[in-house]
Amino acid sequence: DTEVTQTPKHLVMGMTNKKSLKCEQHMGHRAMYWYKQKAKKPPELMFVYSYEKLSINESVPSRFSPECPNSSLLNLHLHALQPEDSALYLCASSHSDSLNEQFFGPGTRLTVL
Amino acid sequence: GIQVEQSPPDLILQEGANSTLRCNFSDSVNNLQWFHQNPWGQLINLFYIPSGTKQNGRLSATTVATERYSLLYISSSQTTDSGVYFCAVEGDTGRRALTFGSGTRLQVQP
């Protein structure tokens, strides 16, 4: 099973709201990733978790807060977002340092009003 | 960081035609993947190919790591092949992150 799931599929939120995006994989992968994709652009890396520890933060604003509660789950907590944060948020996972093919979830399409 | 360039940026084909998409990268890589992004945004894995040649049905890919390029071949194209094709690489610096090219937008017309 090479499936990464993400919820919700769509999210509309106001600038004062707090919401969370969820990502789950059951492939036994130990690395998980958040990417952000604006329209007609390629995905851009936000965060990398390796063995449940944050290993890369691409200078993402603090209004985005990642969390990895266990090896199967990855959350992205959102607070006080701006309209320019509207985008497709993609989660991915890979096996480990020695086998690093990444598999992507279907994404959450976020609109900030 | 590593640079990734894809060409052509846009491609229009008639159904049944063949095509070659190119990915150039600026440094040695541990990982190179080709993806197809469908209209709903899902990134579908096509190939994991840091070196060598692979084939899967009408698609094949070749990576020449020493010359820092990869090619994706699509034969007998179908309308369902339409979408954006991304090449993504991970450099051999130990940093676990994919850098994506700008993509090739393919439209296959019936």
Q: Which two tokens stand for residue A6?
A: 């993400």
Residue from A66, A89, A82, A75 nearest A13 by CA: A82
pLDDT in tens, B25-81: 999 998 999 999 998 899 999 999 999 999 999 999 999 999 999 999 999 999 999
At residue B94, what are phi and psi to the nearest 5 degrees?
Answer: 90, -5
CB contact under 8 A, B33 and A102: yes
B99 alpha carbon, distance to own chain's centre: 12
Residue A2 has pLDDT above 70, yes or no: no
Per-residue model confidence (pLDDT) at position B21: 98
Q: Specify whether the CB–CB gap between A102 and A112 falls below 8 A.
A: no
- Partner residue facing B96 (CB), from A44, A50, A88: A50
Cα within 13 Å of Cα(B107), Cβ side: 5
State whether residue A71 sits within 8 Å of chain B by CB. Answer: no
pLDDT in tens, A48-103: 999 999 999 999 999 999 999 999 999 999 999 999 999 999 999 999 766 789 99
Round to whole Å and give the CA distance between A5 and A109: 14
Q: Specify whether the CB–CB gap between B83 and B38 falls below 8 A.
A: yes
Residue type, B87: C
Per-residue model confidence (pLDDT) at position A75: 98
Per-residue model confidence (pLDDT) at position A1: 56
Name the DSSP class of B15.
T
Interface test with A, best of B43, B102, B105 (most A CBs within 10 A): B43
Q: Which residue has the tokens 């106001």?
A: A14
- Partner residue facing B42 (CB), from A45, A101, A106: A106
Dihedral sign computed on CA atoms, order B81, B83, B84, B88: negative
DSSP bridge partners of A50: A31, A53
- B-proximal residues of A, 9-68, CB under 8 Å: 31, 33, 37, 41-45, 48, 50, 55-56, 58
At residue A20 the predicted structure's pLDDT band, cuts being 50, 70 and 90, is: very high
For every residue of B39-74, DSSP letters joined together read TT--EEEEEE-SSEEEEETTEEEEEEGGGTEEEEEE
